[in-house]
Amino acid sequence: MPGFELFGDKERNQVKDVLDSGVLMRYGFDGMRNGHWKALELEKKLAKRMQTNHAQLLSSGTAALTVALASAGIGAGDEVIIPSFTFVASFESILALGAIPVMVDIDDTLTLDPSAVEQAITPNTRVIMPVHMCGSMADLDALQAICDKHKLILLEDACQAIGGTYNGKPLGSIGDLGCFSFDYVKTITCGEGGAMITNNENYYRNADHYSDHGHDHIGNDRGAESHPFLGYNYRISELNAAVGVAQVARLDEFLAIQKRNYTILRNALEPIEGVSFRRVPEGGVENYSFLNFYLPSEEIAERTHTAFGKEGVDSCFYWYNNNWHYYKKWDHLKNLESLAPVAKDVLEGMPNYPDGHFKKSDHWMGRTISCLIKLGWNEEVMAERAALMASIIKKQL
């Protein structure tokens, strides 16, 4: 991770097909395309790879989450449960529909704590959205049981975890809906892009229409198509999709490199007393895009992260003080700071998150260091890096 590290002729040739045709839009202009439909091709390949009936390509992972929620009828006043450790897109997609993001604690998986989810359910809860941060998953069996009990939708945000599996099934394919991001720093990239997958025919049809201004895509005359309901523009371009066509075919190649580099690093850190690792639920297999480990205290973790930087160890993150991925710095969410007036349902329904509200999450995040696993590192570089990191950690302990 990320896939752009290994861009080559396969990506260039796919993009050249689009440029040679001159058709950069995914819909219409049938006669000019020379038979090339890159977005449609990527959707078919993705659905097959993810073992689902349908895939809908979108302009970003954020768009995928928004469209997935809209396709299931989520809107004004509906509550969607999300973890306190995620990316801002999780709550942005919910708020965009006038729904209410309800944050709850994480556990040692660094994802949703099922007991916290159960406690947060109200009559307005409609969706549970586990976010498979840094390549690994939540306790999906437990979350699915909660959804079944309360008749809720399970939406997997697998934007950072493509290629991971749970009980032999691809992450994203287990819930009612699953979403991926193909932005520039994901395991496979379109430059910008995302996708929603589902086995639900109605959700898929809704997503297909909603993401293209409500077009029903019936017939071969775009101007004559009907609009059964309101929609918006969340389309991906053919250029972006072309890059994805090449990259999705290389997913197993990328996963193998990530697993190799991840294993080298983990083997170097595992013998160190005081180092432990995030829990991967039984039956789960990470996509190996990050190695996440715990140190004995917040102080040691922060000090170690600083030491990494001083010694030239890049691509390691201390999410506890990160602006984009942990609730502590999300004042714009807590205070609902918006350019436009906030919907009444959100104003009245938004939970209050006082300081210290997520102590259980702080317990885990304050001690976590997360190391990106790059595709461009060969075994020699990875071994040197692992040895240096182990040496630094030992000094800090």
Per-residue pLDDT of the chain (397 residues), as tens digits, is: 899 999 999 999 999 999 999 999 999 999 999 899 999 999 999 999 999 999 999 999 999 999 999 999 999 999 999 999 999 999 999 999 999 999 999 999 999 999 999 999 999 999 999 999 999 999 999 999 999 999 999 999 999 999 999 999 999 999 999 999 999 999 999 999 999 999 999 999 999 999 999 999 999 899 999 999 999 999 999 999 999 999 999 999 999 999 999 999 999 999 999 999 999 999 999 999 999 999 999 999 999 999 999 999 999 999 999 999 999 999 999 999 999 999 999 999 999 987 779 999 999 999 999 999 999 999 999 999 999 999 999 999 9
Total residues belonging to the chain: 397
Residue 319, token pair as written in the block: 């999410």
Edge-to-edge strand list for the sheet holding 125-128: 54-58, 194-198, 177-181, 153-157, 125-128, 79-83, 100-104
Our CA angle for 209, 211, 217, nearest 5°, is: 35
Q: What share of the chain is helix, strand, coil (3-state, %, to 5)?
A: 45, 15, 40
Q: Which residues contact 280 (CB under 8 A, 6 or more apart)?
A: 109, 136, 137, 286
Reduce the DSSP state of residue 32 to 3 states and report it. helix
CA dihedral (167, 203, 179, 324) positive or negative: negative
Beta bridge partners of 240: none
**Cα 138-327-67 angle, rounded to 5 deg:** 60
Could you read off the pLDDT of 319-339 as tens digits, one per residue? 999 999 999 999 999 999 999
What is the spatial order of strands in the sheet that 169-170 belongs to? 169-170, 165-166, 284-285
Residue 141 C-beta-side C-alpha neighbours within 13 Å = 10
How high is the pLDDT of residue 353? 85
3-class state of residue 328 by DSSP? helix
Q: What is the pLDDT of residue 356?
A: 77
List beta partners, residue 284. Answer: 166
Q: What is the pLDDT of residue 355?
A: 77
Structural domains of the chain sorted by starting position, each given as residue range(s) with its CATH number in brackets: 3-251 (3.40.640.10), 252-396 (3.90.1150.10)
Say whether the peptide bond before residue 170 is cis (omega within 30 degrees of 0).
no
Cβ 2 vs Cβ 375: under 8 Å: yes
Angle (CA) 259-260-263 rounded to 5° is 80
Known catalytic residues are 186
Which residues on adjacent β-strands are paired with residue 85?
Answer: 326
Torsion of CA 387, 273, 288, 379, to 10 degrees: 20
Residue 354: per-residue pLDDT: 79
What is residue 175's three-state secondary structure?
coil
Show the beta-strand stretches assigned E in the chain: 54-58, 79-83, 100-104, 125-128, 153-157, 165-166, 169-170, 177-181, 194-198, 276-277, 284-285, 290-294, 316-317, 368-372
Which structure tokens are listed for 46? 């993705």
Alpha carbon dihedral 354, 356, 360, 365, in 10-degree steps, equals 110
* Whole-angstrom distance, CA of residue 207 vs CA of residue 395: 52
Quick one: pLDDT at residue 1? 85
